[in-house]
Structure 1
């Protein structure tokens, strides 16, 4: 609405619907109520800000890879073990190093292989056990492939297959083998 006063026109706000009073262009309310409306908006904004500030800040959890599992165990150390296969049972010594070397000391001598963690309480190991006769000639070897589960930090049981090879590399037989072991030391031994 324009109001002319003298030589220039002045812009005025339209009047309210029934009151005939002027209204504020930004809020559409009468000038007397505009400051109260702004005060209410500011009060609501302040209240909302206070509520948001009081909420706990929730961040995504860090990956659990760095944290140890509740029952995580390590095979690193030396173990006295009993090897059981069809028709035979004998004692051996196994050791596992931090560098993932697996060692076996059996009636046939000392042999080595590797191990790897497969779960917090499980690992696998593979060893090639060499066989020699009394004169030191090769009688072949056994490829030992086991999957172990630690029931505690001091005991594990493993199952797998042992494949026997003749000196010329011909496969002779594969037999299922079960090994039960008890920890005798937690020391990280040098490679065998």
Structure 2
């Protein structure tokens, strides 16, 4: 089962009953589930912790797409996550000649459909401890739980932790991660 499949299977009532109403302000914007008038791009633009992600989305030409109707689920790495990549990686990805590679990296963080934290946890439980998530890029993230946190493992063995979940937008939801997931 994929997140896309589960997104339609979990009832809205179950999500509202299990998802927290608001989350810690991880990135200075005071975001909560009630912030539904902004797109996923608008939410990211308003976050001082996501300036690198926003610059990358702009360089890849994905702003218009991610401002579309969606819905989208975005696993959004912070500036610190991008800074942890090997020296020069971000600068290389932002070069116009590397737009296809940048697009692949970014779309490896996007899932078609609105997938709340409760959906991810339900998928993990249904999968006996792990669940495969197919991203828009066609890559796979494996979600699991560790010490109460959702962990995403990319196809290269890289691990990202969801540090803030369920930042709601008019066209989807954002889950903030502490690492960049690298596609194959």
TM over 0.5: no
Q: Looking at secondary structure, tell me which structure has more strand per residue.
A: 1
Instruction: Flag the structure with more relative contact order, 1 or 2, with Cα contacts below 8 A and sequence separation at least 6.
Output: 2
TM-score by length of 2: 0.29
Q: Looking at secondary structure, tell me which structure has more helix per residue.
A: 2
Larger radius of gyration: 1
